[in-house]
Amino acid sequence: MANISKTWWGKRFLTALESCTDSGRLQRGRSYAGPSRLLEFKIDGDLIRSRIRGNINPYFGVYKEPRYNVEIRLKKIPTSKWKTIIKQLTGNAGWLSRLILGEVPEDIDKAFAGTSLSLLPRSSRELQTQCSCPDWANPCKHVAGTYYHVAQLMDQDPFLLFQLRGLTRDSLERELVKSPLGSALAKQLQEEQVRVPEPAANRYPPAPSKKPSLSMDYKQFWGGKRLPKAQSKGDETGVPAIIIRREGDNPPFWSRENSFIEAMSEIYLRVQSNSRNRI
């Protein structure tokens, strides 16, 4: 079966769940993460809610399809601790630039070192889960399915990690841009626009709407005007790398296993090479 999560932070997020339930429930829980089972899903602040479609099982007297309500909450990091953590994050150029670009640095836990906390949950003690199903185990397969779905969402939006820990995306972004480097990076992202090369057909004047008269001499035909010069290679435009990186390795529209950034880099180099050969 394909990996539920593609990013390192998504996989680490699943580690906490895998450490507190048996492999059988986890395996069954993976099938509950899809749209055929997940009837409703909502994240309200740091609270995750879902409604899961259960199974009809006459052997256990279940003749009508059951629906189960699931709630998951991560242990919040106190506001006072967040102030210390943010100070560490904005004081490190590497961490700050990665976060501005929508990525989670792999060594981000170092910013939490002085607080004895971590961004990603380390054990079941940091998870509060409940389900309305009759299963005695907690987390059950319905909780696991919901949790797996959250891990998939984190691939696309790593800031969801901060939200579930008590720091909203807006609050985090405001704090990041307060530093000189954060402000400069944010300004560049706002100003950068994707520059698409103008189609070759638009580089030259449109063709005459009427056919030239056969009685024209060559001077009348050309109108005494010279053909426009071809654009030099120096006039080529491109897509700023920062725009591509802003989308991250796994944007919402990207369903493949490989990295979006790597794929776009490869495509862009090919297009650029073909454009040069045609000029």
Residue ranges for the chain with pLDDT beneath 50? 1-2, 193-204, 212, 230-240
Q: Quote the pLDDT of residue 7.
A: 85
As given in the structure block, the two tokens for residue 13 are: 């997020």
Q: Quote the pLDDT of residue 165.
A: 93
Q: Quote the pLDDT of residue 3.
A: 62
**What are residue 130's DSSP bridge partners?**
71
**What are residue 43's DSSP bridge partners?**
48
Residues 39, 144: Cα–Cα separation, whole Å: 15
Write down the domain spans for the chain. 8-189, 193-205+215-278
- Global pTM exceeds 0.85: no
**What are residue 51's DSSP bridge partners?**
40, 69
As given in the structure block, the two tokens for residue 93 are: 């150029």
As given in the structure block, the two tokens for residue 136 are: 């005695």
If we measure between CA atoms, which residue out of 42, 188, 10 comes closest to residue 101? 188
Residues 184, 182: Cα–Cα separation, whole Å: 5
pLDDT in tens, 139-169: 888 999 999 999 889 888 889 999 999 999 8
Q: Quote the pLDDT of residue 236.
A: 43
Q: Give SS3 for 182.
A: helix
Q: Where are the alpha helices (DSSP H) in the chain?
A: 8-18, 23-30, 79-90, 93-100, 141-156, 159-164, 169-176, 180-191, 218-222, 241-247, 260-278
Q: Quote the pLDDT of residue 188.
A: 77
